[in-house]
Amino acid sequence: MHTIDMMSALVIGGSGAFVSAGMMRLAMQTDRSLRRPLRWCLWGFLLLGFGLSQNAFTSWAWRLPILVGASATLAATALVSRGLLALATGHVVRHPALLDVLLPTGVLALAWTQGHHAFGIVFHAACLAVSSAAAVALRPALLAPRSAAEMTVAATMTFYAATWAYGLFGAMTYSGPERRHLMYVPEPALSLYAATYALLPLVVGALVLNLANARLGQRLRVQAGTDELTGLMSRRALHEGVDAWHAEVLAQGRRAALLLIDVDHFKRVNDTFGHEGGDEVLRALGRHMPRQLRAGTRLARYGGEEFLALLDAGSLDEAVQAAERLRASIAAAPLGGVPVTISVGVAGWPADVAFARALARADVALYEAKRAGRDRVVLDVEPAGGRRAGEAAG
């Protein structure tokens, strides 16, 4: 009865592994960057499907299929673990993937010559070693997961390692006749094992896809939050956290200030040095400006040659001084081989004022700086009774 359960499990598990291999093939087409780990999983599932199904269908009298099935299962565990590890933690195992296939086959072939009991023990010990190594490597994903997918993968690998540990115990204490299906756990646990191994290829396949999706989403989020040319925060990323940042600064009893920064006569830079030369200046600004501003300042590329810095300062004067230091440092040294200057509009962002309103005030101040001759910093004075930007600082 249990033997038939095990055979059904091998058929179901084998089919599931082949379906999972197909899913890996499809996923590889959607995203090239994850091709390598997905390819390892694809080969792993193919081997697993082959190993499980040929064990279900070959004659009971043959012992060789047991060796082949065991080698395929062990190699599959190593390959899929390698893929899961790369997807969950970014850690890439260095040795060639072929070793994951050849090494288990060699070890098991040696053990096979020592009879079924020794073989069962070595097989379980090897599977336990491979799956435990993966579970240990995935520990960060279990203890401090960045996504539910990561945590589920780590939990599944831990569970999988535990099943091999119990299997090893079963193989070591087993003293009956040779079993064909390699599972030497006591009879009552056999059905549970059958169900587990029937479901596992599909569960792990779904997890691999989930993890690949999470990786992809993470990469897209980073890409969306980063300006491609300068490596600074994108306008969208700056907008996302802006209100929380404002509340935090005010809660600390500090002033929030906006520095709207625009490169002067940038059209001339492009006209003289070409668009590529202009891009190089923007890249150099992306490297230079964060070094000049205090750590923790949120700096984004806001438009073509326009940048926005969110500053927390003790006073608006302090913010103006920071802007002035930035302006002077850029005027003093050519960036990307091109001498450029910047104009900066500074505005305070008081409590109960919307971000858009504070930004509009910084824009007015920037306009004043341009109008007054560029290469300067102008502080906007929040209109009280209609005072205009530039009057206080100009």
Ligand X SMILES: Nc1nc2c(ncn2[C@@H]2O[C@H](COP(=O)(O)OP(=O)(O)OP(=O)(O)O)[C@@H](O)[C@H]2O)c(=O)[nH]1
For residue 251, the tally of other CB atoms under 10 A from its CB is 8
Task: Check if the beta carbon of residue 381 is closer than 8 Å to that of residue 277.
Answer: no
Residue 155 CA from chain centroid, whole number: 18
Interaction between residue 265 and ligand X (CB under 6 A)? yes
Distance CA 102, CA 308 (A): 57
The strand pair at 298-301 and 306-313 is best described as antiparallel
Nearer to ligand X, 146 or 275 (CB): 275
Interaction between residue 235 and ligand X (CB under 6 A)? no
Contact region for ligand X (CB under 6 A) — 23-31, 155-163, 277-285, 319-327? 277-285
* Structure tokens belonging to residue 24: 């890996």
Task: Check if the beta carbon of residue 365 is closer than 8 Å to that of residue 380.
Answer: yes
- Nearest approach in angstroms of CB 331 to ligand X is 14
- Nearest approach in angstroms of CB 376 to ligand X is 12
Among candidate residues 71, 51, 60, the one with its CA nearest the CA of residue 180? 60
Contact region for ligand X (CB under 6 A) — 28-36, 171-179, 278-286, 381-389? 278-286
Nearer to ligand X, 240 or 279 (CB): 279
- Nearest approach in angstroms of CB 223 to ligand X is 17
- Nearest approach in angstroms of CB 83 to ligand X is 39
**Tally of helices (H runs) and strands (E runs) in the chain:** 13, 6
Nearer to ligand X, 36 or 265 (CB): 265
Contact region for ligand X (CB under 6 A) — 6-14, 265-273, 345-353, 384-392? 265-273
- Nearest approach in angstroms of CB 281 to ligand X is 7
Interaction between residue 374 and ligand X (CB under 6 A)? yes
Interaction between residue 2 and ligand X (CB under 6 A)? no
Exactly one of 227, 264, 312, 380 binds ligand X (CB under 6 A); that residue is 264
202 vs 4, 111, 155, 168, 195, CA distance in Å?
21, 30, 16, 24, 12
- Nearest approach in angstroms of CB 392 to ligand X is 23
Interaction between residue 282 and ligand X (CB under 6 A)? yes
**CA distance between the termini of the chain:** 92
- Helices 266-292 and 316-332, packing angle to 10 deg: 120
Interaction between residue 226 and ligand X (CB under 6 A)? no
The interface with ligand X within residues 287-346 (CB under 6 A) comprises 304-305
Distance CA 192, CA 195 (A): 5
Exactly one of 256, 263, 340, 377 binds ligand X (CB under 6 A); that residue is 263
Nearer to ligand X, 117 or 374 (CB): 374
Q: Cα 157–200–18 angle (5° rounding)?
A: 120
The interface with ligand X within residues 243-262 (CB under 6 A) comprises 262
Q: Cα 72–74–77 angle (5° rounding)?
A: 105
Interaction between residue 270 and ligand X (CB under 6 A)? yes
How many residues touch ligand X (CB under 6 A)? 16
Distance CA 330, CA 129 (A): 58
Task: Enumerate binding residues for ligand X (CB under 6 A).
Answer: 229, 262-267, 270, 275, 278-279, 282, 304-305, 370, 374
